């Protein structure tokens, strides 16, 4: 009798443990629902990707949606894919490597008098259901496209556009549309600075705004300006994943601009022989950190060529490629295709170390090293920074 009672008790204990584990596993799963009107799908995939994804090493995890009618879709996001830095993109099919077609869904929203867009989203617990109506399908082409372990050229993009109904005011999705370029300063510096300060104070807990600031920190000419926007967010947000990224960035920039340039050895992209990043330390040196998967870096090439043509007697330019072994061949092709006249060295064997050392997480990144070895961060796409470069070098 005692033995039978003991066995029964053990079975009850095991059942309760299994039940508790099942409940925990279920609680770790987030549900994201899309109610789509006007277009039916056989398959939909939620692609989970780190926000600061590396074009040299694309990590994407697809989650296949569940549906009964092709219009209402449920995605179950496990805890492993619901990390603070994760964003989500809806694809109508997984990428087709043979036809090189990238297809998915793009969301639009009406904000005041404007219709704004967003192609990616964070998980927002306040808005777990997204309702949207089909508008149109658009197609285009991408010159360079990062897919898994390679860079593809001449890829066709085919995206269905849906108009979102905002059931929850000031959701992260709505803020991502309304302030899609938050943190970016390409002109009207003081005006943009004041505007971002005001927006951060209006939405101090917004994850999407803090992530935007972490994407555009290169645009700030002075760390005090970046700190001004950063400190306008709530303490909770400043201690979040993206908040800590910005804090770390500020510390690294402080070290970079208060120390002499560390002139390490890297392999030359043509000879493959190791050489210092800066060969002639008696001149000003403009160091441009770049990679083949960075579209803004390619847009910067004409500006660099202009600077080279105007200042080559007093200024040396050198590229530091942050491409990995998988993409460095495409980088070398890009150098030949664009007839780049200045040197290029490769961080191919230690990309992370070089990125961290010179604070080149966000590309393009250009720094000016003067003959004394001190460093100044310049964004040559901005006329004011470009003018400062000319002024410094011309008066040497």
- Residue 361 scores a pLDDT above 60: yes
> 213-237, pLDDT tens digit by residue?
998 887 887 889 999 999 999 999 9
Is the link from the previous residue into 237 a cis peptide, with omega within 30 of 0?
Answer: no
275, 266 Cβ separation under 8 angstroms: yes
Task: Let me know the angle formed at the C-alpha of 358 by 217 and 215, rounded to the nearest 5 degrees.
Answer: 20
How many alpha carbons lie under 13 Å from residue 363 in its C-beta half-sphere?
A: 26
DSSP secondary structure of 156-208:
EEEEEEEEEE-SSTT-HHHHHHHTTTTT--SS-HHHHHHHHHHHHHHSTT-HH
Q: Two tokens at 336?
A: 């030949």
Mean pLDDT, residues 11-33 taken together = 58
- Residue 53 scores a pLDDT above 80: no
Q: Two tokens at 119?
A: 């192609």
393, 376 Cβ separation under 8 angstroms: no
333-343 b/e with 16+ CB inside 10 Å = b? ebbeeeebebb
Mean pLDDT, residues 292-314 taken together = 93
| DSSP-assigned letter for residue 253 | H
3-state secondary structure 62-100: EEECEECCCCEEEEEECHHHCCCCEEEEEECCCCECCCC
Task: Let me know the angle formed at the C-alpha of 381 by 380 and 383, rounded to the nearest 5 degrees.
Answer: 80
- The confidence score (pLDDT) of residue 117 equals 84
pLDDT band at 127 (very low <50, low <70, confident <90, very high): confident
- The confidence score (pLDDT) of residue 100 equals 85
pLDDT band at 111 (very low <50, low <70, confident <90, very high): confident
Topology classification of domain 265-394: Glutaredoxin (3.40.30)
Q: In this structure, what are the phi and psi dihedrals at residue 125, rounded to the nearest 5 degrees?
A: -60, -25
Classify 154 as helix, strand or coil.
strand
Sign of CA dihedral 295, 298, 302, 304: positive
Mean pLDDT, residues 17-45 taken together = 75
pLDDT band at 309 (very low <50, low <70, confident <90, very high): very high
pLDDT band at 367 (very low <50, low <70, confident <90, very high): very high
> 275-285, pLDDT tens digit by residue?
999 999 999 99
Q: Two tokens at 184?
A: 């970016």
Domain coordinates in residue numbering, the chain: 28-178, 189-258, 265-394
- The confidence score (pLDDT) of residue 25 equals 43
396, 316 Cβ separation under 8 angstroms: no
Model's pTM, two decimal places?
Answer: 0.70
Q: How many residues does the chain have?
A: 396
- The confidence score (pLDDT) of residue 114 equals 79
pLDDT band at 209 (very low <50, low <70, confident <90, very high): very high
What whole-number distance in Å separates Cα of residue 62 and Cα of residue 46?
Answer: 6
150, 176 Cβ separation under 8 angstroms: no
- The confidence score (pLDDT) of residue 396 equals 61
Residue 113: other Cβ atoms inside 10 A: 5
Mean pLDDT, residues 31-52 taken together = 92
What whole-number distance in Å separates Cα of residue 199 and Cα of residue 202?
Answer: 5
Mean pLDDT, residues 155-167 taken together = 90
> 240-294, pLDDT tens digit by residue?
999 999 999 898 888 888 889 999 999 999 999 999 999 999 999 999 999 998 8
- Residue 174 scores a pLDDT above 60: yes
Q: Which of 365, 396, 388 is nearest to 282 (CA)?
A: 396
The pLDDT mean for the chain works out to: 87
Bridge partners, residue 287, by sequence? 318, 367
- The confidence score (pLDDT) of residue 9 equals 54
- The confidence score (pLDDT) of residue 229 equals 96
What whole-number distance in Å separates Cα of residue 339 and Cα of residue 111?
Answer: 44
């Amino acid at each position: 009798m005692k033995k039978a009672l003991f066995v029964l008790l053990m079975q009850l204990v095991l059942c309760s443990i299994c039940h508790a584990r099942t409940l925990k596993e279920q609680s770790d799963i987030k549900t994201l629902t899309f109610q789509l009107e006007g277009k039916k799908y056989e398959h939909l995939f939620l692609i989970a990707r780190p926000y600061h994804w590396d074009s040299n090493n694309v990590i994407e995890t697809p989650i296949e949606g569940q549906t009964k009618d092709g219009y209402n879709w449920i995605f179950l996001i496990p805890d492993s894919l619901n990390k603070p830095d994760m964003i989500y993109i809806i694809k109508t099919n997984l990428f087709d490597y043979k036809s090189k077609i990238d297809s998915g869904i793009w969301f639009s929203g009406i904000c005041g008098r404007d219709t704004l867009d967003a192609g990616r989203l964070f998980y927002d617990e306040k808005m777990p259901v997204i309702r949207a109506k089909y508008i149109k399908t658009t197609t285009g082409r991408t010159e360079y496209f990062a897919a898994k372990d390679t860079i593809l050229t001449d890829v066709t993009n085919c995206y269905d556009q849906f108009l979102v109904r905002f059931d929850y005011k000031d959701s992260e999705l709505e803020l991502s549309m309304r302030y899609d370029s938050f943190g970016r300063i390409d002109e009207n510096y003081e005006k943009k600075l004041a505007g971002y300060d005001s927006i951060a104070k209006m939405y101090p807990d917004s994850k999407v705004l803090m992530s935007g600031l972490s994407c555009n920190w290169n645009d700030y000419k002075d760390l005090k300006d970046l700190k001004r926007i950063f400190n306008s967010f709530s303490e909770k947000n400043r201690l979040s994943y993206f908040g800590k990224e910005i804090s770390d960035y500020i510390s690294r920039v402080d070290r970079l601009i208060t120390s002499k340039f560390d002139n390490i050895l890297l392999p030359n992209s043509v000879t493959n022989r190791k050489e210092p990043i800066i060969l002639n330390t008696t001149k000003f040196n403009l160091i441009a950190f770049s990679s083949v998967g960075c579209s803004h870096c390619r847009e910067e090439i004409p500006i660099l060529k202009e600077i080279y043509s105007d200042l080559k007697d007093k200024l040396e330019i050198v590229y530091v490629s942050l491409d990995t072994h998988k993409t460095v061949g495409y980088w070398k092709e890009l150098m030949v295709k664009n007839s780049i006249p200045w040197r290029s060295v490769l961080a191919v064997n230690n990309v992370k170390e070089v990125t961290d050392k010179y604070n080149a997480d966000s590309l393009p990144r250009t720094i000016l090293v003067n003959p004394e070895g001190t460093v100044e961060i310049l964004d040559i796409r901005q006329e004011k920074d470009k003018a400062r470069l000319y002024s410094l070098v011309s008066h040497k």
